[in-house]
Homo-oligomer: A and B are copies of this chain.
Amino acid sequence: MIMIDRVETASDRIRNNHSQNGVIQPLLTDMYQINMAYAYWKSGKHDDTAVFDLFFRKNPFHGEFTIFAGLEECLKFLESFRYSESDIQYLKETMPESVEPEFFDYLSSITTKDVKVYAIDEGKVVFPRVPLLVLDGPLIVIQLLETTMLTLVNYASLVATNAARYRMAAGRKIKLLEFGLRRAQGPDGGLTASKYAYVGGFDGTSNVLAGKLYGIPVKGTHAHSYVSSYSSLDELHTQTLNHKETGAVMNLKDVSLAWRSLLADKLNILQSESSDGELAAFISFAIAFPSGFIALIDTYDVLKFELDWFEHLSIVASNDINEETIISLNEQGHKIDCFGIGTHLVTCQRQPALGCVFKLVEINGEAKIKLSQDVEKVTCPGKKAVYRLYGADGHALIDLMHRTSESAPKCGSRVLCRHPFQESKRAYVSPAKVEALFKLYWKDGKIQQDLPNLEEIRDRVTESLQTLRQDHKRNLNPTPYKVGVTDELYNFLHDLWLQNAPIGELF
């Protein structure tokens, strides 16, 4: 028996009301989350509350910024979070027999109504170590959300960031189309890529389902197979086309042949050098799509001629194009109007994963720290607030993490910002504007903010990137954007570190 539950839009296809991929469900998680849930439950921790931060440690693609995406999908997952009967049945069969049956009753009862989620707005530019989401609520429930939330944020943010980088490389005037479905990592890898490439600044996609589900403009012309499926001009079933303005019936085949003859003379080449099958394919395609005709020109040979009026044609290029190719073509002063980008965009070839992590920072009101010999992996303990401080010219200066007990920085007031781990790296900032980065997005089992549609998130990407100084955004050796902590948080972090690090004895 094959059951296909098609992912479909609501009948009126209001954007963002589409259903979520059916594989996004509570069991789309790591087994250790469920094992931990049982061990927590068994050791009486069902009423423990915890705070977890979701963040990454390093910007992708040797860059110094990241676009945050995937929030709406996380919220939809929270809305639908419920173990089904067959989920519970599967877990009963899979977990050791020693697991107490009451645990499964407990699992069946779990919802996300006691979880609060604070998050940065989707589409904003974000930086290492700053939490993108903060989850506050029952320890066990939040632990059970971890893997799925990471899956939903990691790739969405990676693709949106990649797309934003292509957009910056290409400039605002060039059209960018995502053509990656066939090379994507799984069918949904393709769908997710189409969605977040659009968020990151692409103009459209070849992926029809992405068009249907998300309202993204879809584009496409023809393939080599179309051209080579025609062998001769005799195969032209229809030869006429009405003139766009006069409406007069024209025979496109005759017109094309007359032009071919003229051109052959002008270019001093043999008419036999051109392929009749190729011309038949172009004519038939022009008859089917008389507006915005585009032809794929390298099935049999590549163009080698220059004609003045070639300059008035639109050129679409697609074949293994990446960010570096675009930058190099820019330097050569290319005439391309549109890039179709596939593999490199959707698989993020240069760095195919963003390393978001999900770390416990507080339990039952007590701050927790994860130590590591690698200082980059030491976590920033406790529940925190984060503010983005802007300079007088409108550019973002620093993201500053606070303890939640501290008062927010004020415009015009000097605040000391410290590097979280390097003692002597400190700076005073008198912000011209202060922006609180977290909003309460989830509480009492409900989404707490109006969610923007894809277009609005896309606009937010552009706006947010504009607040970033150019040197943070450049392709080569960009300057790192600063992420700091208040003096109070600095001291708190380092006291807790010393408290938790073992003291050995020398002999």
**Distance, CA A50 to CA B230, complexed state (A):** 12
The answer to the question of A449 belonging to the interface, with a C-beta cut-off of 8 Å to chain B, is: no
Q: Which of B23, B207, B229, B370 contacts A48 (CB 8 A)?
A: B229
Given the complex of chains A and B, what is the CA–CA distance between A287 and B96 in angstroms? 12
Q: Take A152-B187, A182-B150, A186-B186 as given contacts and tell me if A302 and B373 are in contact as well, using a CB distance cutoff of 8 Å.
A: yes
Contact pick for A188, options B17, B91, B188, B347, CB 8 Å:
B188
Whether B209 lies near A184 (C-beta < 8 A) is: no
Q: Within 8 Å of chain B (Cβ to Cβ): is A476?
A: no
Contact (Cβ within 8 A) B187 A185: no
The 0/1 profile, CB within 8 Å of B marked 1, for residues 323-359 of chain A is 0000000000000000000010011110011111011
What number of copies of this chain does the assembly contain?
Answer: 2
Which residues does chain B contribute within 8 Å of A30, judged by CB atoms? 179, 181-182, 206-208, 220
B147 lies within 8 A of A182 (CB): yes
13 more A-B residue pairs beyond the given contacts A185-B192, A301-B501, with a C-beta to C-beta distance below 8 A: A1-B17, A13-B86, A29-B207, A31-B220, A36-B222, A43-B235, A43-B238, A98-B290, A185-B348, A228-B368, A268-B507, A274-B502, A349-B352
**5 A-B pairs with least C-beta separation:** A44-B237, A31-B220, A32-B220, A188-B188, A5-B5
CB-based contact B289/A186 at 8 Å: no
Asked if residues B151 and A273 are in contact (CB atoms below 8 Å), the reply is no
User: Taking the complex as formed, is A223 at the interface, i.e. its CB lies under 8 A from any CB of chain B?
Assistant: yes
- Interface residues of chain A, those whose CB is within 8 Å of chain B, are 1-11, 13, 17, 19-25, 27-36, 38-40, 42-45, 48, 50, 52, 76, 79-80, 84, 86-87, 90-91, 94, 96, 98-99, 139, 143, 146-148, 150-152, 154-155, 158, 179, 181-193, 206-209, 211-212, 218-226, 228-229, 231, 235-238, 268-270, 272-275, 284-285, 287-291, 298-302, 343, 346-349, 352-356, 358-360, 363, 366, 368-373, 500-505, 507
A483 to B372, alpha carbons, bound, how many Å? 51
Chain B residues contacting A76 (CB-CB under 8 Å) are 2
